Structure 1
Amino acid sequence: MPLHQHDRYRRMLRYFWLFAALQLLAAFLLDSPGNILRGLRTIVYTEDALITDYIAVAGPGAALCNAALVTAITLCLLYFSNETFNGTTQLEVGLMSGFALFGKNFVNIWPILAGSYLYARFRREPLGSYIHIGLLSTALSPLVSYIALDNGWGNLYSAVIVGVLIGFIMPPLSSYTYRIQNGMNLYNAGFACGLVAMILVPLMSSMGADPTVHYNWATGYNRLFAGMLSVLCLVLIFCGLFCCRKPVWAAWAGYRRLLLTSGRSPSDFLRMFGPAPVLINTGVNGLIGMVFVLGGGGDLNGPTIGGILTIMGFSAFGKHAANIIPVMAGVFLGGLVMHWSLDDPSVQLACLFCTTLAPISGYFGWPYGLLAGFLHSSVVLYTSSPVAGMNLYNNGFSGGLIAIVLYPLIIDVAQHRKPVLQDRDYFQPMAHDEPIVPPAPHAISEEESR
């Protein structure tokens, strides 16, 4: 019997389960079961506002165990919701696993996920239609933890109600914010979550809450985690070249074609090129992220590894070496002229998560990517303060602001085209799941050319 549309990609599930198992194995190799259990309890009872490095507060074993649990929850939800497996699947797994090292845990994500489920029931549509935004909306899980744990103001019941409300309102909000950014900010959910946090946090403060920004940052793990990440990335590159039933030359040629795309959202590289180029891209991007962190004198810990895993997740959905390096270089350029250092924790995260603006580099050219990274390096340092670090995707919020400002300016001033809002997918749904040749990186619609 022939495979149903996109069903062949469901075989990805077994490899993601292997990834979760490797996280769990690493956890028990790095720490004892007793310490891991105590660390998990510490994680659950910790207020998770940025920056709360679980490696610093609970140890590497407990942090990796929490990541494995969150990854397992994600895989179960994706499977039982019957969501179509494609590039967004890798995006979701990489992002959830990465942020499970600093902010998301296997408890505080559930109220928001329940809200997404209720919204699907309200709309009388399958959960698979909203599980994607439900998972991404857990960027606001620190709000759930704060309300539940702050005994002087909130309580568990209030935390559940607020979490469910967040999950319920995020699908329509993110759908709107996606259009106004014209596909130039890959972390659209981060921008939408930032808008929600900008309302909820001041509202809570007016009612007597006093959320504060956290700075828990682990150091001294560079050699350990550099070795682990290097092995993971090299294995992915090897599998892309030799284990996907394609000649090596064909896999490499597919990767080179992938590098010519803009990455403008939505760009599902798995559907466009197949698994071999995506695996190569994932491994290469992971190495690039690690080199940038260590090259800037940074630390490999929960937040930075989370950023690298996020880049690797988005390697199936918009990011590649040609469009992320200029934006990251823009952050480094900012370090030469700004009054902050590249080894500051917030700047290290900005260097990784600034790649949300990779489509600007890929669509308009590397000079504009450099400009976007330069602006992002400063804007992101101030956008977390009004929301007290409650939005884990703060770089997505900052990236959305920059994308909304830069897109019409570049279009109208530099390229003399009429700015328009994108109201349709850049890549239309397909009737089959074979890789396709993407449009030219700078191709424009008839409407944009007026």
Structure 2
Amino acid sequence: MNYKLKFNKKCLDVYIIHLIIFLFIGLVGIFSTPYKDLFIGIKKIITTRSILLTDYMYVSGIGATLLNASITSLLILMIYKINKTKPNGSMIMTLWLTLGFSMVGKNFINIWPTIIGVYLYSKIQKDSFSNYVLIATLSTSLSPISSELFEILNLNSYITLLLSISISILIGMILPPLAKFTLKMHQGYNLYNVGFANGLITVLIISILNYFGIEIKQNLLWSTEYKTISLFLVISLIIFLISLGIKKFHLSKLSNILRHSGRTITDFYLMYGNSSYLNMGILGIIFLSYIVIVNGDLNGPTIALLFCIIGFGAIGKHPLNTIPLVLGVSFTAYISNIQLNTPTTILTSLGSTALAPISGQFGVIIGFITGCLHLILMKYIGHLSGGINLYNNGFIAGILAIILIPIIDGFKKGDI
């Protein structure tokens, strides 16, 4: 579907709004940490392994983490501005993903190889890069791969650097056609389509490395000491979002958002303007409350997944199509005697909302069952991407969607 939004004084510019958000994040980082520690922390972020789960708050403290998130997000915003990208829900979503995952795997150095790869693909296709800038931004979910290959390849330093960057660029080049194909596979029921495509790429890479006896060591760096300042940060952003959409006109449009299944591409921003910010803020309240209720940690990984949900509030997610999935994950964990606040459980709960269109299209019960299955698949095959794909929930969601959708559709039509 194509939607056109008539901009007026009531519809604030997406660039200005996110410029304010990113500068706010950066200023909080700067004023929360001594300057000397900021520089040391940024250096640690750039030089450390960044595969899942590498919480930059654990690596370098909250100040450097927020500053990295601010710089990285501003760079992506600049790319959009240079390419004159028209604001839409997809753009908003990618900006929030960048902001969140720049606290757990992305930094302003490692994002460039895959972006360059997508750029080169656009040139091979003799097409404008502006048509690929969204997928270029999403390709940065594979940002950890260049530093990881540099770490594990036992070659001359310069050769290793050249090889690792070249492989990352190549991955960026093959991602656009693969993502286009994977979208057909799950028919738009997995909102994290690029995460699914990246997961397939990483399975291939991990398999090749393992064949030659090269193994990628898993990471679990998880901070627990910055909950108060993280809570202040997240609540401040939620309040800002709600303030953008709280007007009577925008409130009246919220009920329309709740009627959509969320199947790709359902662009709430192009259809309902600033009402999408209200939806994003409400999603933030719900899932921040969930983290607090289960006594989960607020750190790089959990904020990344929370911001992911908030971002997709502009394109596909709303309370009615996300809550059943999270309840399904939580129920499965509970009956399995797994604590709800473990890293795997809480991240899988939040990440299961990638399948919101299934819940939105087929109802609460199917959504609940889908959430149950998402946790089970994550437990047993989530490791296949080796931690290289930051959007690993999208990989699991893609597999689950291509299994469930034909079955659901078959029963509905009487084919089985």
User: Scaled by the length of structure 1, what TM-score is found?
Assistant: 0.87
CA distance 1:210–1:370, shift in 2 (3 Å): same
| Residue 43 of structure 1 pairs with residue 45 of structure 2 | yes
Match for residue 387 of structure 1 among 381, 385, 388: 385
Tell me, yes or no, if the aligned pair for 2:182 and 2:196 is still in contact at 8 Å.
Answer: yes
Q: How does 1:106-117 map to 2 (within 5 A)?
A: 106-117=108-119
Moved more, 77-86 or 262-271: 77-86
| Residue 284 of structure 2: aligned partner | 286
Matched, 1:145 2:147: yes
Retained in 1: the 8 A contact 2:152–2:216? no
- CA deviations over 1:73-129 (Å, ceiling 9, x no partner): 110111112223211111110011111000111111111000011001100100011
Q: Which range is displaced more, 11-20 or 313-322?
A: 11-20
3-state SS in 1 of match to 2:191: coil
CA contact (8 A) 1:6 1:84 kept: no
Match for residue 190 of structure 2 among 179, 185, 203: 185
Alignment of 1:338-353 (within 5 A): 338-353=336-351
Residue number among 199, 203, 211 corresponding to 1:198 in the alignment: 203
Q: Aligned residues: percent identity?
A: 33
1:226 maps to which residue? 231
Unaligned 5+ segments in structure 2 are none
Structure 1 counterpart of 2:61, one-letter code: G
The SS at the match of 1:299 is coil
Q: 5 Å matches for 1:293-308?
A: 293-308=291-306
| Deviation of the 1:404 alpha carbon | 0.7
> How far does residue 7 in structure 1 lie from its aligned partner after superposition?
8.4
User: Shift of residue 238 of structure 1?
Assistant: 2.2
CA gap of 1:172–1:10, structure 2 versus 1, over 3 A, is farther
Structure 1 stretch 206-215 or stretch 55-64: which is displaced more?
A: 206-215
Contact 1:379 1:398 (8 Å CA) reproduced: yes
Contact 1:111 1:163 in 2 (8 A): yes
Give structure 1 stretches of 5+ with no counterpart.
243-247, 420-450
* Paired amino acid for 1:263: G
Preserved contact between residue 142 and residue 389 of structure 2 (Cα < 8 Å): yes
Deviations 1:358-398, CA, capped at 9 Å, x for gaps: 11110100111101111111211233322221111110000
Shift of 1:207: 3.2
Aligned counterpart, 2:170: 165
Matched, 1:331 2:292: no
Structure-2 separation of matches of 1:214 and 1:418: 45
- Between the aligned partners of 2:174 and 2:232, the Cα distance in structure 1 is 41
Mapping 1:408-419, distance limit 5 Å: 408-413=406-411, 415-416=412-413
**Kept in 2: contact 1:259–1:321 (CA 8 A):** yes
Following the alignment from structure 2 to structure 1, what is the Cα–Cα distance between the partners of residues 236 and 400?
Answer: 35
Return the TM-score normalized by structure 2. Answer: 0.94
One-letter code of the match for 1:344?
T
- Per-residue deviation at 1:260? 1.1
1:24-35 → structure 2 map (5 Å cutoff): 24-35=26-37
Aligned alpha-carbon RMSD (Å): 1.7
Q: Give 3-state SS (helix, strand or coil) of 1:264's partner.
A: coil
Q: For the Cα contact (< 8 Å) 2:62–2:226, is it kept in 1? A: no
Q: Which residue of 2 aligns with 1:71?
A: 73
8 Å contact kept, 2:94–2:134: yes
In 2, distance between residues paired with 1:81 and 1:12?
15
Which residue of the partner structure matches residue 23 of structure 2? 21
Partner of 1:354: 352
Distance 1:418 1:167, change over 3 A: farther
Quickly say closer, same or farther: Cα 1:7–1:160, change in 2 above 3 A.
farther
Matches within 5 A, 1:268-279: 268-275=267-274, 277-279=275-277
Counterpart secondary structure, 2:13:
helix
Distance 2:81 2:112 in 1: 17
1:397 corresponds to 2:402: no
- Say if 2:227 is the partner of 1:236: no
Deviation at 1:12, TM superposition (A): 1.0
CA distance in 2, matches of 1:152, 1:14: 46
Q: Determine the C-alpha separation between the residues in 1 that align with 2:152 and 2:42.
A: 19
